[in-house]
Structure 1
Amino acid sequence: MSRGKLVRWGVPMAAVAVIGAAIGAGPVIAAVSGDPVLPERSAQQLLAEAAAAVQKDGLPPMSGTVLETASLGLPALPQTASAGSPIALLSGSHEAKVWYGSRDQFRLAVPGPMNETNVIVNGDQTWVWDSQSNTATRVKIAPGAEKTHTAAPTGPSMTPQQAAEQLLSKVGEHSVVSVTSNTQVAGRPAYELVLAPKEAGSLVQDVRLALDGETYVPLRVQVYAKGSAEPAFEVGFTQVTFSAPAPENFAFTPPAGAKVEEKTLGFSKDEEKHDFAEGEVKTVGAGWTTVAVLPTPKTPAAPAQGRSEGQGQGQEAAAALDTVLRSATPVSGAWGSGKLIRTKLVSALFTDDGRLLVGAVTPEELTKAAGAK
């Protein structure tokens, strides 16, 4: 959805997805004990049935509580980050409330110790409410922005079975795929699709995706690091209900005395080119050992007076980066020199010639990529 651009503006929902897909470590979300009774399914059968369910009914109305946990084994990060910021999500446990009625009715609430951030989509109205700053922001989409993401070229329609076969053929190039049918998440029987890398250079042992046994909605994602008996990262429902949320969950009026702002989201072609003007991201390797190579992020300058939300998040990121770099290990080789950081699931190499290499790979894979032409 084009409203997904809202996430790029600062809503923490994307941070959960992007950070959660690659890094972290933390406690396991407790599943209800007992063996649920579900028919056995192969990976192909499971994916085909899930695709058929989505094609027929789409995502069903639902509401629930999601818990994300992360502990990277990094030095203590600055405590200035707000509860919903990407920096805060790099460590500890974080809870969010979710309500979904339809494509045009959605709400995400991220509570903090002394504040709460809400994203509310209701028809053509999109609001972001930040109780800490007492600010309600109405979000609009720039003219033409709805068309910035064009659909893929159309071709012969695929059946769910064909879609499952195509997905598994691609995944199978780099992964061993299996399914278990005795999992429970948030009290619901679920299938668990397990993807294990074939490449020895990956830090990932496996990724486990739990799908609800009735609706096939993803309920939990767990990432296990090699040599670990517990998930290194986990995000999933601790409570979920598949029924239509009450309409008042999507109603929002700025409270009396709140500061009301407007933001317009959407980028022109010139703005998109400017975003990538400082250097293009490239990748080295394939599958689970893919390494991203990009320009080293620059530290934002401090504003003369006050700070905007974007500046605040940029400064939080810069402070966290500075803390991490102080604990990095100096390394060198035929490729040059730099500083290396390794967590359970991610390695990062900051080279002295201005590159950042990052991936869920061993340091050896990073230095190999650093020397690639």
Structure 2
Amino acid sequence: MPIAAVAVVAGAVGAGPVIAAVQGDPALPERTAEQLLADAVRASESGLKPMSGTLVQTSSFGLPGLPQVTGTGGSSPTALLAGSHELKVWYGGADKVRLALPGRMSETDLIVGGGQAWLWESDANRATRVKADPAELAEHGAGHGAGHGAGHGAGHGAGHGPGRGTHGPGPTGALPQGGTPQQIAQELLKRADADTAVGVTSNEKVAGRDAYQLTLAPKDASSLVKEIRLALDGETLTPLRVQVYAEGSAEPAFEVGFTTVTFTPPAPENFTFTPPPGAEVEEKSLSDLAPGLTERQDKGEEMKGEAEIVGKGWTAVAVLPFSLRDLQEGKPEQAPGGEAAEAARDADAVAEALLKSATPVSGTWGSGKVIRTKLVSALLTDDGRLLVGAVTPEKLVEVAGRK
């Protein structure tokens, strides 16, 4: 059994072989948390099964000013931070993938098959042949939904890099990146540890299928995360839905899951594409389709390397050098046209809205501004530090004093 599987099972044992009480007869055989986690890890080792279905992501992070800057469209990445967004998926193997992102009056499709890859944008009547290895593109598309994926959320892991703590399932760990429940679930399962209360029920229904529900809840009361619920298909143990609840909220702050799903190989015609007559046809590389992606990834890796992690698990806090000047220098002097320009403008508007909502705080360590959302708090100090975690602002102020 690989190390990841051992860690998952050990975490479940540490939390206790819990079976939550349920009303009515369970639709599936009961499993302890240990059994369910171990079986899920074994099932994941065989890879994703051929399937098709519809994913829906719903986000309500409580980011101030967000509805005004993202509007009602779904093409800008910042639009995924609020409201609901749908992604249709067909998966026949690593070299057979189709993703469709419906819009109001249009649809964007990524089609990988037959040794080639196409991006179809119906609103622009444009077909783009993508210059990349199809398997690489399929992996990129499955994780990002053709640039607009269904699984992006707030809280990119702060639990990375050198520091005084370790990194568990929480926040900064609570919302790992990934475009499907499968990818999100695998990371969450790895992070289950002794800081987590684990429970399981066996009478859930997701996308019309019987499912187990695994519940992960932090034991530390200073976490903003109330619990994470992971629904696993009762037959295949494929993750069907992930829900993240914030403290004090009855509805999920973040949810991504299937509303329909079928575990049969999709028809071959789903993976073929011919540009329609009159369509504009062009050829681009992956870097052309995602301008600035490499630079942003490099910057992210640089920041992770500079981060110090204070604490562990759900209440880990990342501390890294950062200032308002860094924010201004990170903006491009002149954004390109089209969707890239729209995305840049939306990102700037989100940052400005967050800064306007910041509350002044001070202590023996100095002063700064704190921003709180449902799942993540951030403190920007006047002495050039950024503290981020899925913890209360009071916890960040406490950590800021540990110079």
Do they superpose with TM above 0.5? yes
Tell me the secondary structure at the aligned position of residue 245 of structure 1. coil
Contact 2:70 2:78 in 1 (8 A): no
Deviates further, 91-100 or 354-363: 354-363
2:312 pairs with 271, 274, 286, which one? Answer: 286
1:335/1:250 Cα in 2 relative to 1: closer, same or farther (>3 Å)?
A: farther
2:282 pairs with 242, 260, 280, which one? Answer: 260
Tell me the secondary structure at the aligned position of residue 77 of structure 1. helix
Equivalent in the alignment of 1:234 = 255
Deviates further, 352-361 or 180-189: 352-361
CA distance in 2, matches of 1:288, 1:48: 22
Say if 2:348 is the partner of 1:314.
no
CA distance in 2, matches of 1:226, 1:79: 25
Q: Which runs of 5+ in 2 are unaligned?
A: 1-22, 138-187
State the Cα distance separating 1:186 from its structure 2 match.
0.9
State the Cα distance separating 1:79 from its structure 2 match.
3.7
State the Cα distance separating 1:208 from its structure 2 match.
0.6
State the Cα distance separating 1:223 from its structure 2 match.
1.1
Greater fraction helix: 2
State the Cα distance separating 1:193 from its structure 2 match.
0.8
1:311/1:280 Cα in 2 relative to 1: closer, same or farther (>3 Å)?
A: farther
State the Cα distance separating 1:359 from its structure 2 match.
1.9
Equivalent in the alignment of 2:159 = none
1:69 pairs with 44, 53, 58, which one? Answer: 58
* Counterpart residue type for residue 244 of structure 1: P
1:206/1:334 Cα in 2 relative to 1: closer, same or farther (>3 Å)?
A: same
* Counterpart residue type for residue 43 of structure 1: A
Tell me the secondary structure at the aligned position of residue 89 of structure 1. helix
CA distance in 2, matches of 1:63, 1:173: 36
CA distance in 1, matches of 2:352, 2:309: 25
State the Cα distance separating 1:272 from its structure 2 match.
7.2
Deviates further, 97-106 or 285-294: 285-294
Equivalent in the alignment of 2:356 = 326
Say if 2:48 is the partner of 1:59.
yes
Say if 2:108 is the partner of 1:103.
no
Question: RMSD value over aligned CA atoms?
Answer: 3.2
Deviates further, 235-244 or 204-213: 235-244
Tell me the secondary structure at the aligned position of residue 98 of structure 2. strand
CA distance in 2, matches of 1:42, 1:250: 40
CA distance in 2, matches of 1:270, 1:257: 32
CA distance in 2, matches of 1:275, 1:229: 33
Identity %: 57
Deviates further, 258-267 or 79-88: 258-267
Contact 1:80 1:316 in 2 (8 A): no
Deviation readout 1:192-244 (Å, 9 max, x if unpaired): 11111011210111101000000111001111112223322211111111111
State the Cα distance separating 1:276 from its structure 2 match.
5.0
CA distance in 2, matches of 1:228, 1:270: 37
Equivalent in the alignment of 2:393 = 363
Say if 2:104 is the partner of 1:113.
yes
Equivalent in the alignment of 2:152 = none
TM-score by length of 1: 0.74
1:34/1:101 Cα in 2 relative to 1: closer, same or farther (>3 Å)?
A: farther
CA distance in 2, matches of 1:329, 1:168: 35
Tell me the secondary structure at the aligned position of residue 391 of structure 2. coil
State the Cα distance separating 1:34 from its structure 2 match.
8.6
Contact 1:35 1:184 in 2 (8 A): no
* Counterpart residue type for residue 373 of structure 2: T
Contact 1:81 1:316 in 2 (8 A): no
State the Cα distance separating 1:127 from its structure 2 match.
2.8
* Counterpart residue type for residue 261 of structure 1: E
State the Cα distance separating 1:274 from its structure 2 match.
6.8
Equivalent in the alignment of 1:41 = 31
Contact 2:76 2:339 in 1 (8 A): no
Contact 1:300 1:315 in 2 (8 A): no
TM-score by length of 2: 0.69
State the Cα distance separating 1:270 from its structure 2 match.
11
Equivalent in the alignment of 2:265 = 244
Deviation readout 1:316-344 (Å, 9 max, x if unpaired): 20111112222221222233322222122
State the Cα distance separating 1:51 from its structure 2 match.
2.5
* Counterpart residue type for residue 49 of structure 2: P
Contact 1:36 1:189 in 2 (8 A): no
State the Cα distance separating 1:280 from its structure 2 match.
3.0
Contact 1:38 1:181 in 2 (8 A): yes
State the Cα distance separating 1:353 from its structure 2 match.
3.9
2:202 pairs with 161, 164, 181, which one? Answer: 181
Tell me the secondary structure at the aligned position of residue 109 of structure 1. strand
1:303 pairs with 324, 327, 334, which one? Answer: 334
